[in-house]
Amino acid sequence: MNNSRSGPRPVKFVGSFQCVVDLPRHGAVWEFAFIGRSNVGKSSLINAVVGANVARVSNTPGRTQTLNLFNIDDRVWIMDLPGYGYARVSKDDQVRWLERLEEYLTNRNELKMLFILIDSRHGIKESDKVILDFVREENIPHTLIYTKCDKKGACKFEDGIMTSAEKGTGIDNIRALIYG
């Protein structure tokens, strides 16, 4: 077992879940969840953080539609949450996803930290503000992660971690929060 923050760790796919009640419980292990608008680079960032291609990367926004759970070294669980704010998803699906997200965030005792991903080229959008207002109101621990900071048009932000999954920027900062 590698105890360094940056080294690769064994990763196991636990499963994809439609409902929060179906998620396994694991009281002694910390869970970190990643969420963001569709096409924010969530899957690429998760893969960079865990050091393995575990989250499915797609060029089509909105592909993650289930609660995808990964076990890292039997110490940490990573939750890949569905993206939000994608217009091609039906309004009914959007409502169901938001209800499931609210249920997850308010009932998941294992959740240690929610990483809210923001595209650094676009900044915080209205749908991000809705999520931020909710987690602040519910006192859910969270950290802003700005993605794609290496891309043209990216801006710097002081209130979060600037990252590039492609270049590795900020990945060690996220690992430090997860692995301590």
pLDDT digits (tens, 9 = 90+) for 87-139: 566 778 777 878 889 999 999 999 999 999 999 999 999 989 999 999 999 99
Report how many domains make up the chain.
1
In-domain check, residue 4: no
In-domain check, residue 91: yes
Q: Which pLDDT band holds residue 84 (cuts at 50, 70, 90)? A: confident
Higher pLDDT, 180 or 68: 68
Higher pLDDT, 127 or 172: 172
In-domain check, residue 30: yes
What CATH number does residue 141 fall under?
3.40.50.300
Q: Give residue for tokens 């959008």.
A: 125
- Closest alpha carbon to 118 in 82, 143, 86: 143
Higher pLDDT, 7 or 108: 108
Per residue in 42-62, pLDDT tens? 999 999 999 989 887 655 555
- CA pair distance 78, 146, nearest whole angstrom: 18
In-domain check, residue 154: yes
In-domain check, residue 69: yes
User: How much is the pTM?
Assistant: 0.89
Helix or strand holding residue 28 (H, E): none
Residue 37 belongs to what domain range?
11-179
- CA pair distance 2, 93, nearest whole angstrom: 41
Pair 56, 137: CB distance under 8 Å: no
In-domain check, residue 162: yes
In-domain check, residue 5: no
In-domain check, residue 29: yes
Contacts of 100 (CB under 8 A, 6+ apart): 19, 20, 67, 82
Pair 166, 132: CB distance under 8 Å: no
The percent of residues above 90 in pLDDT, for the chain, comes to 63
Indicate whether 8 pLDDT > 70: no
